[in-house]
Structures are given as structure tokens and as C-alpha cells.
Amino acid sequence: MFQLDIVTLFPEIFNLTLNKGVIGRAIKNDLIEIREWNPRDFTKDKHKTVDARPYGGGPGMVMMYEPVCAAINKAKEKHKNSKVIFLTPQGKQLNQAAVVEFSKLDGMILVCGRYEGIDERIIESKIDEEWSIGDYVLSGGEFATLVLIDSVCRLLPGVLGGKNSANEDSFVDGLFDYPHYTRPEEINGRLVPNVLKSGDHEEIRRWRLKHALGKTWRARPDLIESIKLNDEQKMLLQEYIEEFENL
């Protein structure tokens, strides 16, 4: 069972979201276990203080060492082998390759920041890795943590129905997904491409690969540069570019 321990001042955010859908089913089927730890429950003063003003001045508040570390330590008691991860704009940027590596762990202890940040000594002494979901700022780490949890859990054995659902996704081969169509055949004059109705599996495979390459090339030329295309892929992308430029 994959262990998820979340250190957060707002555990309700997780109860409301994770008990539904694919993740909710994985919890019910004992494929993952989620526990939440609120630093506020680990305070010792009567006001249950979790934050304080920053040394050196400046706006906002900083999460204090003691309650956050006590919460992390409590999570670690049962899950010594879990990796302690802090989601922060100052972390290494998450991608599908990193998500695949996380899915091979025994578990993760995810620390959610709030306010201006957390005391640096928490990072130095308790955090194994700092990760970011992208170059933007959120008011708390909870939504970034949900993104990481969702992306990792759907790769765990048994979580997605079909055996290959996760394998055939975008990014598995470094490319975007191909376009999908379902009923009806015509919508306001827009038709399903004929090849997808042909039953010719080889032609369908080539059409999908060509459009996966084309979509990636249009939106993310940097991704195309970063992967080594084989001869078939080079030819299909060339075909796509020529058709695109003649449009």
C-alpha cells in the first residue's frame, strides 16, 4: 500500500477532494492510505500558534519550526521509508519522469506551506526534496500537493481500470496525446477523420502518431527538440508541417 502523509493547516481541502473518483476508489480498495497531520494539533501554547513574524522584517508571517516538525515526526513514526517532500515555487520543476519515480517509492510525506513561507531550518533538517508544479505562486501548498498526489496515484498498480490506460498517456513517449473522437460522427459540419473509421490499425497508428507529433510541434517545439525522433516520426512530422503550412 502506498502511504501518503500530508502536513497541512487545512486538512478539509483533502478530505473533500481525495475521497472521490479514481483516488477515492484507490483508498477504498486499500491501494493507497492517506493520513493528514495538522501542525496546529502539535502546538503547546493556549493560542495554538503556528506562525510568527519574519526576522529581518517584511510583510506576512512564517510557519514556525516546532509545530511543523512535530507533525512531520509523527508521520515518520509509522512511515520511516517515506520521502519528505515540500512543494514550493523554489523547487525543481515536476514532470512526468519525476512522477514515475515518485510512484516507485513506499510513500511520501507532503508538507504544505502557507503564509510567506516556512522557517528555513525545517527545510534544512526535515525536507528530503523540494519540488514545484510550475513557475507560479499559490496562496498555499495544498493545491500543488493535490496535483502531485493525483499524478502519482494514477500510476500505482491497480488504480486505473484498464492495464494500459496510464501507459498510453501523453508524455509517456515525451509527446502530447493524439486527438480523440467519439459519437456523433458529425457536429456542426465537423467530421470524424475517415481513417479512424477505416478499421486499418496500421493507418490509424500512423495518423495518431502524426497528430501527436504535430500538436507537440505547434505548442511545444522545445519538447520536439529534446527528444530524438526516429525516421518514421521525422517523416510524419514533416508531412504534418507541410499540410499545416498549406492550410
* 54 counts as binding ligand 4GM under rule CB under 6 A: no
CB of 56 to ligand 4GM, least distance (A): 16
Cβ neighbours around 79 below 10 Å, total: 18
Q: How far is the CB of 114 from ligand 4GM (least distance, A)?
A: 5
User: How wide is the angle at C-alpha 31 spanned by C-alphas 110 and 127, nearest 5°?
Assistant: 15
Is 159 within 8 Å of 21 (Cβ atoms)? Answer: no
Q: Helix or strand or coil: residue 54?
A: coil
Q: CA dist 240 to 64, 204, 207, Å?
A: 55, 15, 10
- State whether the Cα torsion 213-214-219-221 is positive or negative: positive
Binding segment (CB under 6 A) for ligand 4GM, from list 14-22, 81-89, 160-168, 230-238:
81-89
Among candidate residues 25, 35, 66, 89, the one labeled active-site is 89
Closest CB to ligand 4GM belongs to which residue?
113
Pattern of binders to ligand 4GM over 103-142, x per CB under 6 A?
----------xx--x--------------xxx-xxx-xx-
**Pair 96, 172: CB distance under 8 Å:** yes
Rounded CA separation 127/108 (Å): 11
The residue from 116, 130, 150, 239 that is catalytic is 116
The residue among 31 and 138 lying less far from ligand 4GM, judged by its C-beta, is 138
What is the smallest separation between the CB atom of 16 and ligand 4GM, expressed in angstroms? 19
Element holding 98 (H helix, E strand): helix 96-102
Residue 233: CB minimum distance to ligand 4GM, A: 32
Active site residue 12: no
Which residues are the active-site residues?
Answer: 89, 116, 154, 169
List residues near ligand 4GM by CB under 6 A.
87-89, 113-114, 117, 132-134, 136-138, 140-141, 144
